[in-house]
Structure 1
Amino acid sequence: MKKLASALAVSASLAVASPAMAIDNLNWDMQSTYPGSLTQLGTLGKVLSERLNAVSGGAINLTFHEPGAIVPALETFDAVASGAVQAGWSTPGYWTGKDSSLALFAAVPFGPRASEYIAWMKFGGGQELFDEIYAQYGIKSLACGVIAPEASGWFRNEITSADDLKGLKMRFFGLGAKVMQKLGVSTQLLAGGDIFPALELGTIDATEFSMPAIDLKLGFYQVAKYYYFPGWHQQSTIFDLMLNKDEWDALDEQTKAVFETVCDAQITYGIAEGEAIQPAALAELQEKGVNIKSWDPAILDTLRSAWDEVVEEEKAANPNFARAWESLSNFREQYKIWSELGYLQ
């Protein structure tokens, strides 16, 4: 009887301990497309690494690597897909050269606010489509952060009409770049750390990048003094943790749940922090002589018309884009009644 009691006690203790022991011990590399010191864009990646380690009791070590530490920032997609690194910290909008539909899971011109966007991703079919498209490239991606509206451009001179944009060379992100091209702007995608030197040297005439608190840190105000709002091209922006799909598929369910839960927490953290830090940044920019401007409604109408053209072209060219656009549009149409009734317009 004593032996039986002892055996039962050991079995019970193992049963209690087993859930914690089930988490895979991981030592993975995460290549970031953003410097770790860059407000939100980079710091959220570092917070993610720290929280995964803490929540897993030290079992998950996801090492944050600065841009270029393993591969250049804009080669992160290929590095994760090939398994050269297990993970990447980025935004899907950087990979439109791979598949234009990925931009719809990052930032949508004239698109939804953060709450509506995440609602589509989590409960409107967005994540399922996201999984299907990324799986074609050997990647599993988790939405792991969202930030509020961005500014839509730094310019050396005031923009009084759409004609003032013609001929400019401008750094621009995602689908918004295709819209600006319709207006005669020559666009290129530059990683964050490459923008200021290009602006200072005159390689580009203008740029957009992110929110006031982030743009302030990068010093664009030293070269361009006209700063335009609203961010018609990025009313909200989703960031993601890219994972090599084979590595992800090999994880046990508990380990996957840790990743998913921490990423959900990051979404709350990111939007709250982003909203809190903008007023002080705007005040500091004004003190530095920045002219904070709002787009003329006529210019916004021109941009919206150009966006409508881009949508039709992308739908015709890419079946993945057409499917994702239909899903998002249907969700937004259904959501509209709640948006109009529930929120002040």
Structure 2
Amino acid sequence: MKKALQATALSLTLATSTAAMAEFDKVRWQVPMGFPSSLTALGDTMPEVAKMLDEMSGGQVTLRTFEPGKLIPALGVFENVSNGNIPAGYSWMGYEWGQIPASALFGATPFGLESQEFIAWMYHHGGDDLLKELFQPYNVYPILCGTISPEAAGWFREEMDSLEKFKGLKFRAAGVGGEIMSEFGMSVTLLPGGELYQALETGVLDATEFSMPVVDEQLGFYQVAKHYYLPGWHQPSTNQYLYINLDEWNGLNGQTQALIENTCKAANTVALAKAEALQGAVLKKFEEQGVQLHQYSPEILNAFKEATDRVMKRRSESDPMFDKVYSSMKAFQEEHRPWKYYGYLPRDFGFEEADK
């Protein structure tokens, strides 16, 4: 009798386990990425997401990642997911801003929300609902899946100590930040990360921005430009997304959808923690390699802010959805402002003592 009861219990356990496993759809998606997986926190987050999904689903949900250019062009994730050429893809949001201007706000908003504020807005102040509303007409279901630290403002061959020096400069930038920089007479172009070193070395570009210090180091910009400008006013948070074809998404059951959504929430923690952990050491290394670290002067930052206000006003007046998203962001930023001011130590507190 004891053995019979043990056998029955084992059978029920196996049956329950099998039934639970069966609640996950069998997913086999090819997922091209906008960034090489070798780029820290920027490109290695999606492979980590794929690993987590595979482990938690017991192999039911398998996303096979592909390096940029292997399946589709590096900047072609949105278009190919929208058209159904691929089931899903992973990229920074904003490369599609010529077609969906408001998308760039979710990738990065100049003088906008910092990383922790952006997550707060997305999950608790309606940002995620606006995101889904924005992309639904294009048959795309985007999921925030990798928030990282601010970008740097750019690499230059000479010191940028006046606004006059920006005129005529051949500069790589993306999203809204690129349009704002054009206000200063800069010739702005968009190139994938893998092409930037050669463009900078050969003079196709005079200067470039791309990402955080740890990523910029991997791309070798410090070898051909020695003036590194911060803060990243144009991109106070950097946000990557898992783009999923809406038909594919709607074909999944609720448990599989929840697994993917929650894994991407975990990815935000993983990516941001890694990003914050590494930047200080890289900046020190840059200085040892002869790079001069600069903060833009208040005069230049104020000029960028005034130009940002002009561009945002112009875009908001011409695009109701841009206005809706930007207004929501600004309302939360204003609501959050007293807590940000009073709740945290000033960023320069203790620095003078530390330098003595």
**TM-score normalised to structure 2 length:** 0.92
**2:172 alignment partner in structure 1:** 171
Q: Separation in 1 of the partners of 2:305 and 2:10?
A: 69
2:340 maps to amino acid: S
In the TM superposition, 1:288-299 aligns within 5 A as: 288-299=289-300
Residues 62-108 of structure 1, C-alpha deviations (whole Å, 9 max, x = no match): 01101111111111211111111111110112211121100111111
Look up the SS of the partner of 2:145 in the other structure.
strand
Residues 301-322 of structure 1, C-alpha deviations (whole Å, 9 max, x = no match): 1000000000001101211101
**1:153 alignment partner in structure 2:** 154
Rate the CA distance shift 1:148–1:8 in 2: closer, same or farther, 3 A.
closer
Rate the CA distance shift 1:159–1:9 in 2: closer, same or farther, 3 A.
closer
2:332 maps to amino acid: F
Q: Is the 8 A contact 2:77 2:243 kept in 1?
A: no
**1:278 alignment partner in structure 2:** 279
Residues 12-61 of structure 1, C-alpha deviations (whole Å, 9 max, x = no match): 86455322211011110001010111122111121111111111111111
Q: Separation in 1 of the partners of 2:13 and 2:222?
A: 64
In the TM superposition, 1:201-212 aligns within 5 A as: 201-212=202-213
**2:236 alignment partner in structure 1:** 235
Look up the SS of the partner of 1:268 in the other structure.
helix
In the TM superposition, residue 338 of structure 1 has moved relative to its aligned partner by 2.0
**2:246 alignment partner in structure 1:** 245
**2:344 alignment partner in structure 1:** 343
Q: Separation in 2 of the partners of 1:38 and 1:342?
A: 34
* Bigger shift: residues 220-229 or 326-335: 326-335
Look up the SS of the partner of 1:39 in the other structure.
coil
Rate the CA distance shift 1:292–1:323 in 2: closer, same or farther, 3 A.
same
Q: Is the 8 A contact 2:42 2:148 kept in 1?
A: no
Residues 310-340 of structure 1, C-alpha deviations (whole Å, 9 max, x = no match): 0001101211101101111111122122222
Look up the SS of the partner of 1:131 in the other structure.
helix
Q: Separation in 1 of the partners of 2:229 and 2:213?
A: 11
In the TM superposition, residue 269 of structure 1 has moved relative to its aligned partner by 0.6
In the TM superposition, residue 341 of structure 1 has moved relative to its aligned partner by 2.6
Q: Separation in 2 of the partners of 1:29 and 1:287?
A: 42
Identity of aligned residues (%): 40
In the TM superposition, residue 11 of structure 1 has moved relative to its aligned partner by 7.4
1:81 maps to amino acid: S
Q: Separation in 2 of the partners of 1:279 and 1:113?
A: 18
Q: Separation in 1 of the partners of 2:8 and 2:149?
A: 56
Q: Separation in 1 of the partners of 2:13 and 2:37?
A: 44
Rate the CA distance shift 1:15–1:199 in 2: closer, same or farther, 3 A.
same
Corresponding position: 1:308 with 2:309: yes
Q: CA RMSD in A?
A: 1.7
**1:127 alignment partner in structure 2:** 128
**1:111 alignment partner in structure 2:** 112
Residues 233-267 of structure 1, C-alpha deviations (whole Å, 9 max, x = no match): 11111111000110001100110111011101100
Q: Separation in 2 of the partners of 1:192 and 1:59?
A: 33
In the TM superposition, 1:29-40 aligns within 5 A as: 29-40=30-41
**TM-score normalised to structure 1 length:** 0.95
In the TM superposition, residue 10 of structure 1 has moved relative to its aligned partner by 6.7
Q: Is the 8 A contact 2:113 2:329 kept in 1?
A: no
**1:27 alignment partner in structure 2:** 28
Rate the CA distance shift 1:8–1:189 in 2: closer, same or farther, 3 A.
same
Q: Separation in 2 of the partners of 1:209 and 1:118?
A: 22
Rate the CA distance shift 1:11–1:39 in 2: closer, same or farther, 3 A.
closer
Rate the CA distance shift 1:8–1:208 in 2: closer, same or farther, 3 A.
closer
Q: Is the 8 A contact 2:41 2:272 kept in 1?
A: no
Q: Separation in 2 of the partners of 1:54 and 1:95?
A: 32
In the TM superposition, residue 122 of structure 1 has moved relative to its aligned partner by 0.6
Corresponding position: 1:189 with 2:190: yes
Residues 120-146 of structure 1, C-alpha deviations (whole Å, 9 max, x = no match): 011110000100111111100110111
In the TM superposition, residue 271 of structure 1 has moved relative to its aligned partner by 0.7
Q: Separation in 2 of the partners of 1:163 and 1:320?
A: 34
Q: Is the 8 A contact 2:31 2:89 kept in 1?
A: yes
**1:137 alignment partner in structure 2:** 138
Q: Separation in 2 of the partners of 1:12 and 1:229?
A: 57
**2:349 alignment partner in structure 1:** none
**1:43 alignment partner in structure 2:** 44
Q: Separation in 1 of the partners of 2:251 and 2:54?
A: 19
Q: Separation in 2 of the partners of 1:165 and 1:273?
A: 33
Q: How many residues align?
A: 341
Rate the CA distance shift 1:343–1:8 in 2: closer, same or farther, 3 A.
closer
Q: Separation in 2 of the partners of 1:225 and 1:194?
A: 19
**1:267 alignment partner in structure 2:** 268
In the TM superposition, residue 9 of structure 1 has moved relative to its aligned partner by 9.5
**1:326 alignment partner in structure 2:** 327
Q: Is the 8 A contact 2:172 2:190 kept in 1?
A: yes
Q: Is the 8 A contact 2:170 2:188 kept in 1?
A: yes
Look up the SS of the partner of 1:35 in the other structure.
coil
Residues 175-227 of structure 1, C-alpha deviations (whole Å, 9 max, x = no match): 11111000111111111101111111111110000111100000011111100
- Name stretches of at least 5 consecutive residues in structure 2 with no aligned partner: 347-356
- Name stretches of at least 5 consecutive residues in structure 1 with no aligned partner: none
